[in-house]
Every structure is written in structure tokens, then in C-alpha cells.
Amino acid sequence: MTAPSGHLPALAAAVLQPGFVGTTAPPWVCRWLGEGLGSVVLFARNVVDSAQVAALTATLRAERPDVIVAIDEEAGDVTRIESVHGSSRPGNFALGAVDDPDLTEAVARDLGVELAAAGVTLNYAPDADVNSNPANPVIGVRSFGADPALVARHTAAWVRGLQAGGVAACAKHFPGHGDTRVDSHHDLPRITADRDRLDACELAPFRAAVAAGVQAVMTGHLLVPALDPQLPATLSPRILGGLLRDELGFSGVVVTDAVEMRAVADRYGFAGATVRALAAGADAICIGGERADEQAARELRDAIVAAVVSGELPEERLAEAAKRVGQLAAWTVAARTARSAAARDAADIGLIAARRAIRVTAGEAGRAALPLTRAAHVVEFEPPRNIAIGAETPWGIGAPLGELLPGTSTVRYAEPDVPGDPGAGAEGRPLVLVVRDLHRHDWMRAAVQRALAVRPDAVVVELGVPELVTGAVHLATHGATRASGQAAVEVLTGAR
């Protein structure tokens, strides 16, 4: 093995998108920006508020003016910029329920203007997955819906809106994470659809995103035998080169989903998956959701350099990847300059959208249950959180309901701590049962059935996918964001 050329470490650093810990820029990140690092990614741990993020990104930009600052902000249940309070926007599934592409574009543009003002230049959104499997544990309300045509038109609208706001969009998780029961954070999902089904369903939103000019596409750690029977999409030349580049005509940056996720890291190693992804056609490697220190970044940089020196990774491929990252950086600089004076849309556009997404199903016996006019008892059933959503973001309707109906009490139950009568404590008061993806959780369904047997007049509020409608009054928000909760409370109380 020969010694690495002096430019290789800088090329290797250029294709990394590492995360870090803290609300200020660590010295190692600043040093790396001067040594070739082209991007960083922010998570909830890096965010206090928009002013703090703006100060953080200004520090990064002082080291490298064209640094790409990415964030995973879906403006729904998955939020980083508003993780402390919950998103002021309703999320993809709610926008799909409204099915007004102009509204979707306006919400995305408003988000883009907000992110751009904070110095963010790349957003890992929209989620372009078609949630065709209701049992999906990781997509759900992150998707615009189960209909490919609907998801395609809203994916395109989101891309147009976000990029009009000055931030590069990144459609994910290619070639489609919707039809699976497995979370790729934990294991490798297998998509069993044939090629005709993939063309008609999973690939339709990505074709729309490319046609809309999306600047980046994020790969999914997915095994799709109809496309490649051996390698997951992130590591597959057939999928990244043959399908995404050649067939779909995408010429922007291909970003991997977090490379430390077990779907690929358990099988190919942290560094091994990185090298294979670059060789397959990926241009940028996302890291740092779980490994967020200089050691992790150095491990990957050194592995990339070693792979080039050994011939495992052609230097031309690495140079091509770094060039694409540089082209995206130039796009973000131009977009930031051109749209520096862009104005926010109506301050309450997220709440406006959340209100339009509310759906109420009431039988004859339930119509008298609303509006609630006195203090209620709220029972919130908490399912396990997936890593994408995170544990820090608040959800529920108890707090905003209590603001309008003082004296309202709230309890929250998770498996296996649900009592025999979950509605106990509601005697003489309205009972509100709050669920998330009721159809996916046997324990939750059983608890709700017990509560309804005692209190058939209880109101059921679904903050997830309303696959199962139950109760005399059922209110579906199509998401668990702060805006969705507020909109639900307005309907419950007749405040609007």
C-alpha cells in the first residue's frame, strides 16, 4: 500500500456530514472545516431556539463560508428546530389529508424561510415514502399518505416550497420505505414488491421530486430484491447508479441515511458501509445521530482514504462525490443570497393547515358530546417512540385543553402500566382518550375498549394514522404536533 496523496484527506472530509454535541460549534468541527469538511448536520441536541442556531451557523460559516448546514426537520412529528415545544406545523400526513398542494407548498416555503434565516441550508425533507403498509413502525404520519399519486404531488409541492424559501430539499428514503414492518434503525427492512409495483407506487414520488428540481435524495437502508437481490439500496450501484441516476435522471447529491444505523452497520461495519456507499454512487455520508464525535468522523475519513489507496474505492468516484457536494454548496450560497429578504407567510399558517386536517366521525349518540364545556379527564396512551421522532418532543392535548377548560386533569399510560379501568378518575366529567396509531398496538386497543365499555360517551382523539375509527366521537388530527393538538382542542371545545 502506498502512502495517501496529500489531497485525499480533504476529499474524504468533503463527503462527510457529521453531527456533533452541544449548542456551540466544537473546536474540532471548526478545525475540520478549515481542512476540507464540507457539511455538518444539526439535531435536536444542537438547538435551543432560532437565534441560538443562527449564532451557531454563523460561527461555522466564519470558518467556511459555503459550509452546508443540514437538519432533519420534517415540520411534523419529526422536528429538530422545534423539538422543545413541538412543531408549529402539522406534518406530511395532515397535509396529505387536506390534499391542497398549494397549502403544502406554502407551509414548506414558510419553513424554508425560517430555516434559511437561522443559517440552515439543507433539509432532510420531504419524506417521499408511500405509507402503503399501515403496520409500518417508522414512517406512518411522516408520509403524505398511502396513495402514490397524492404522495407524488405533495412531494413535488414540498420541494418547490422549501427551495423557494432558500433551503435545499432532500427527498427520502429512496427507493421507498413505506411498505415495511421493520425500522431500519434496528434491522434491514426487505421490500418484496416487484418492479411493476415499485414503478407504480414507491418510485412515483421520487420521480416527481426529481422533476421538481430536488437538490438531494437520501437513500434508505432497504433490501429491494426486485432491484438488487444482494445489497441494500444505500450500497447498491444498481439502485443508486442504474435506477436513480440513469433511469430517473437525478443529477444532484445522493445522501445516505445515517450510516451508523444497524441495517447497514451491523452487516458491513461503520466504516465498511461508508466505503461501499461511496463506491455505489453516494456523494455524502450522514453520521452523528448516534455517533457524534471527532473519533467517529476521523474513523470514516481514514477508512475512505485507505480504500482509495488500496483501490477499493476509485479516486475518480471520490472526486466526483466531492464535486457534487461542492455544487450543492454553491447552490445554497446562491439561494441564500437571492432569498435573503424573503418574508415568512402568515405566522399561523401551520395552525391553519392543522385545522384543515381535522376529521370528526360521530354517530347519532355522539353528537351531543361536543363541544366540551367543562373540565375534562384526559387519558393519553403512549406508544414506544421510534428514534426518528425522538423522546424529547412533547405531544398530547391535555395541556392546551386545560388552558381552555381549567381543572382538566391528564394521565398518561404506557404498556404495561395501564389499569383495568383506564378512565377511572373521570367520574362526572367528560372523558377524552388520546391514542397514537391505535391499530398497531394490541395493548392500546384493549385499554380503549375497556374504557369505552364503561364510558361509551368518551371522545377518542387519534394523533396518528386513523386506520381504526372507534368510539361515539372520533377525532383524527393526522399527526401529533403542537399545531395538531391545538387544532384538536379548538374542535373539542368549540373555540373555533
SS3 335: helix
Contact 458, 432 (CB under 8 A): yes
Question: Could you tell me if 127 and 172 are in contact, meaning their C-beta atoms sit under 8 angstroms apart?
Answer: yes
Q: Give how far the C-alpha of residue 125 lies from the chain's centroid of Cα atoms, to the nearest Å.
A: 6
CB 141 within 8 A of CB 478: yes
Specify which residues 216 forms β-bridges with.
170, 253
| Other Cβ atoms within 10 Å of 412 Cβ, number | 14
What's the CA gap between 12 and 108, in Å, rounded? 32
The kind and range of the H/E element at 401 are helix 398-404
From the list 185, 221, 439, 474, the catalytic residue is 185
Cell of 4: 495517501
What phi, psi does 83 have (nearest 5°)? -65, -25
Residues in the chain: 496
Q: Any catalytic annotation for residue 185?
A: yes
- Active site includes 302? no
Q: How far apart are CA 18 and CA 42, in angstroms?
A: 9
Per-residue b/e over 128-165, b at no fewer than 16 CB within 10 Å?
bbbbbbeebbbbbbbbbbbbbebbbbbbbbbbbbbbbb
Query: Which member of 72, 179, 257, 345 is catalytic?
Result: 257
If one counts every other C-beta atom within 10 angstroms of the C-beta of residue 326, the result is: 15
Other CB atoms within a 10 A radius of the CB of residue 84 amount to: 13
Q: Beta strand pairing status for 473-476 and 359-362?
A: antiparallel
User: Per residue in 457-483, is it b (16+ CB within 10 Å) or e — as a string?
Assistant: ebbbbbbbbbebebbbbbbbbbbbbbb
Q: d(Cα 151, Cα 491) in Å, to the nearest integer?
A: 27
Active site residues: 185, 257
